[in-house]
A and B are shown apart, each in its own frame.
Chain A
Amino acid sequence: MKKLPFIVFGLVLLLVVGSIQAQTSVTLTYMASQDWVHDAEMELGAQFEQETGIHIDYQIIPSDQYFTLLQTRLNTGEATDIFGGQSGVTDLIVNYNVEVNAVDLTDQAWVEQMDPLVAAQATVNGRVYGLTLWNTLGTTWVVNYNKTIFQENNLSVPTTYAEFRSVCETLLGVGIIPLFEPVSSGWHHVLWFPELGPRYEEVTPGLAEALNANQTTFADDPTMLTVLEQLNELYTMGCFGDNVLADTYDMTTQALASGDYAMSVFNLTGPQSIAADYPDVDPDNFGYFVMPLADNQNLNVNPAGPTKFIYSGSEHIAEAQQYFDFLTRPESLQYLIDHDPTMPTLPFEGLTYNLLPSQQAFLESFAAENRGTVYQTAVTYVNPQWMDIGQDLTAMFIGDMEPLDVLMSIDERRAQMAQAASDPAWGE
C-alpha cells in the first residue's frame, strides 16, 4: 500500500505531460471509405505536416461498412475532424445532414476555383459544405468504340438512335457483337438510363426540379419511356450478345481488347485501362461518343463524387480548413494529377489534365450548354435505388416487366424513400 502515492503521482505526471503535448501538436482525424484516399494525397498530408506541424490521422474504413459507421458516429456526436462522403444534394441532406453536421465552407478561397457543377453538388441552400477532389470528368460514361472495326465496316459515329441501331445491325450482320453490356454486375446497364439526364432536361426543361418537387413523375415523361423502349429493343435485337445476362464488368477490358465486341459504355479514360491490362492494345484505337438513345447529343457529367467535409463538432475546425487550403493550392492539385493514376482530372481551374489528346478533344467538343448533370445526381432518391433499377431493367429484358412498369417502380421507390425521409414535397 506504500506504493500507492507513487503510482498516483506517476499517473498525474503522465496526464500533465500528455496534455502539454496535446496542446503543442494537433492531430486531425480523417475518416474515409476505402479507395477515397490514395497514396498521393497521403504524401501531400505528410508535406502539410512538415509545413504546419499538423498531423493527419487517416482512418480508412472498408467501403461496405463505411456508411453505417459514419452515420453512427455522426448520430452519436463522435465524428472525426474531417469525414468523407458522397456529394449530391440528396445525399448531403438525407444521408449526412450537412447543415447540422458539417462546417459551412462558402467563404473559403478555393470555392471560387472549384468547377461550378461540382460545387453545386456540395451545396445545400446556397452554402458550400464540401471539397470534392475527384476525377469527375475522366469517369464520364461514354460509348467507347473500336475505330478499326468501325473503319473496316464503313461505319461512322452515330448521332441519333436510328443511326446507332443501324450500326448495331451492320455489326450483327458481319458476326461482331455490337455492345458489351455486363448485366450480371447489376449496376452497369443502369447507366443507359439516368446518365441521359441532360437529354431529358433538354427535351423538358426543368424536369429534374419538377421531379424533386414531386410535381411530376418518371412514368409521365415520354423521353424516359423512349429511352427504356430503345434499350429494350437493343437487347431484343441481340446487340448485347448471347451471354449478356452472365457478363460481368471486370470482363470489359478483355471484351474490348479482343475485338469480339465493337463498343461498350465505359469511362472516358477506359482505353488507358484497356492498355494497362493488354499492353499490345493501342489506346488511340478507341474513340468515344455519347449514348445516343432518344437522339441524345449532350455530355453526361456526374459532378458528384467522394467529398471531404469538416465536422461541425470538431475542436480543430481552423486546422482542418488549413488542410483544405493546402490541398487546393494549384501545385498540390497538379501533384495529385501527376502522381495518382486514378486522378487524370480534378474539378479545378488552371490544371494540366492527364488525358489522351483525343479525350481532351472529345470533352472540348461539348459547349457548356451541351453538358448537363446526370439524373442520379440531379434528381433525388434515384442514386440509392440504383441496384433496384438494375433488377427492374433485367426484368424488362426478360419480359417480366414493361418499360412503363420500370418507370412506375422507380416512382414508387422514390415515394417510399421520400416519405421515410419526411420530405415535405411528398407530404404525409
Chain B
Amino acid sequence: MKNKNYPFYFTIAALALYSVFVVLPGFMGIAYSFTDWNSYSTEVNFVGLDNFRIIFSGAENYTDYILNTLFFSITTIVLKTLIGLGLALLLSSGVRRFAHLYRTIIYLPVVLPTIAVGLIFRSILNPRTGILNEFFRAVGLDSLAQGWLVNPDIAMLSIIGVDTWKGVGYIMVILLAGLQTIPQEYYEAAQIDGASSFDRLRFITLPLLMPAITVVTVLNLLYGLRVFDIVYVLTGGGPGYTTDVVFTAVFDEFSKGRYGVGTALSSVLFIFMTVISFFIVRRLTRNPVEA
C-alpha cells in the first residue's frame, strides 16, 4: 500500500467491479439470512434470528453437516499435505528417471472436472459391479470388498479418499516449488556435520518449507469448508444424511425454496471462514524474523 508509483484511481474500476459482483452480493446474502425469503411468496419479511435458530437448534441435522464439513476439511488437509509432501520429496530428490512424467501423471487428476471424476469413481466403487471390489474378489480378498459409497461407516472416508486423489497433485506442485527454493548447500553442510536424512528433513526442509505448507493449509481449509461438488456427485449426501456437508444442505434448502435458511447457513460458513482466514493470513504475513 505504500507503493505510490501508481495513483489510487487506477484501482477504481477493479474495486467497483469487485464491490458490485462480490462484496455487494455477499452482504445481500447476509441481509437475506435475516428474512423469510422463499419461493412460495413474493414478500420478504424480516424474521430476526429465526433462520439461525433453525440451524443451531439441533432439531434438523445442520450441526451434523457442520461437523461433517469440519471432519472433511481437517482430514483432507492432513492427508493431502502429508501425501503431497511425500510425493514432492520423492520427486525432488528420490526419483531421478522420468520425474517430469510422474509429476504430470500425479497432477493430471487436478485438471479433470470433478463431475467426471465423481462419475468415474461411482462406477469404480460400486459394490457389485465396480472394478475395485471385482479386483478384491478376483484375488480372493472378498472381505475387503466394501459398499464404499453406500456403507454409512465408510462413505465419508471414501469421499475423502477420492478428493485426496484428485487434489494431492496440486498440493504436491506447490510444495515441490517450495522445496526447490531451499539451497542445496544447507543439506551439504548438514551432511558434513553428520545429520541423518530424518534430521535434515526435520531441521532444514520442514522449517524452510513452512511458508509453502501454510499456503497449502489455507488453500485446503478454504476448499474443504466450501466442499460441495465431490460430495454431491459421489453420494448426494447419502446414504441417508451421513455425508451431507454445509453446502449440500445449502443446495437442498435452495431447491426446497427456503432461500432464507439457505443464505443463513452459507452466512454462518462465511463468517467462520472469514475469521479463520483472518488469523491464518495474519500468521502468513507476520515478519519472518519475528516468527
Contacts and interface: CB of A to CB of B under 8 A. Distances in A.
A190 interface: no
Contacts of B40: 94, 417, 420-422
Contact of A243 (B39, B127, B241, B242): B127
Contacts of A242: 127-128, 147
B240 A395 contact: yes
A400 B152 contact: yes
A391 B65 CA distance: 14
Interface string B239-278: 1111000000000100011100000000000000000000
B127 A394 contact: no
A400 B252 CA distance: 19
A218 to B, nearest CB: 17
Nearest to B40: A421
A240 B241 CA distance: 20
Nearest to B64: A400
A420 B35 CA distance: 11
Interface string A230-259: 000000000000110110000000000000
Contacts of B239: 183, 245, 394-395, 397-398
A391 B127 contact: no
Interface string A409-420: 000110011001
B242 A400 contact: yes
B93 to A, nearest CB: 43
Contact of B258 (A186, A394, A397, A416): A416
A75 B42 contact: yes
B41 A420 contact: yes
Nearest to B150: A245
B163 interface: no
Contacts of A395: 239-242
B167 interface: no
Interface residues of B, number: 27
A370 interface: no
Contacts of B152: 398, 400
A110 B239 CA distance: 47
A305 to B, nearest CB: 22
Interface in A90-142: 94
Interface in A382-428: 384-385, 388, 391-392, 394-398, 400-401, 412-413, 416-417, 420-422
Contacts of A352: none
Contacts of B36: 420
A246 B241 contact: no
Interface in A257-313: none
Contacts of A413: 256
Contact of B147 (A245, A388, A394): A245
Contact of B240 (A94, A401, A412, A417): A401
Interface in B200-249: 236-242
Given A246-B150, A385-B256, A420 B38 contact: yes
A413 B240 CA distance: 16
Contacts of B38: 420
B149 interface: yes
A184 interface: yes
A159 B42 CA distance: 49
B40 to A, nearest CB: 4
A358 interface: no
A34 interface: no
Specify which of A186, A396, A416 lies most central, judged by the most chain B CB atoms within 10 Å of its CB. Answer: A416
A71 interface: yes
Contacts, number: 72
Q: Is the interface of B mostly helix, strand, loop or mixed?
A: loop
B242 A421 contact: no
Interface string A54-77: 000000000000000001000100
Contact of B237 (A75, A184, A245, A391): A391
B147 to A, nearest CB: 6
B257 A420 contact: yes
A391 B241 contact: yes
B39 A71 contact: yes
B126 interface: yes
B250 to A, nearest CB: 15
Given A242-B127, A243-B128, A388-B256, A421 B147 contact: no
Nearest to B260: A420
Given A416-B258, A420-B41, A246 B127 contact: yes
A388 B239 CA distance: 12
B126 A398 contact: no
Nearest to B252: A388
Interface in B133-155: 147, 149-152
B89 to A, nearest CB: 38
A246 B41 contact: no
A160 to B, nearest CB: 30
A397 B151 CA distance: 11
A184 B147 CA distance: 12
A292 B60 CA distance: 32
A75 B43 CA distance: 12
Nearest to B240: A395
A246 B126 contact: yes
A421 B257 CA distance: 10
B279 to A, nearest CB: 35
Task: Point out which of B149, B152, B240 has the most chain A C-beta atoms below 10 A from its C-beta.
Answer: B240
Contacts of A388: 252, 256
A394 B238 contact: yes
A88 to B, nearest CB: 15
22 contacts: A71-B39, A94-B40, A186-B236, A186-B238, A242-B127, A242-B147, A245-B147, A245-B238, A246-B128, A246-B149, A385-B256, A391-B238, A391-B240, A394-B238, A398-B152, A398-B240, A400-B152, A400-B241, A401-B240, A417-B256, A420-B40, A422-B40
Interface of A: 71, 75, 94, 183-184, 186, 242-243, 245-246, 384-385, 388, 391-392, 394-398, 400-401, 412-413, 416-417, 420-422
Given A394-B240, A400-B241, 13 more contacts: A71-B39, A184-B150, A243-B128, A245-B147, A246-B128, A246-B149, A384-B257, A385-B256, A395-B240, A396-B240, A397-B240, A420-B36, A420-B40
Q: Which 3 A-B pairs have the closest CB atoms?
A: A395-B240, A245-B150, A421-B40
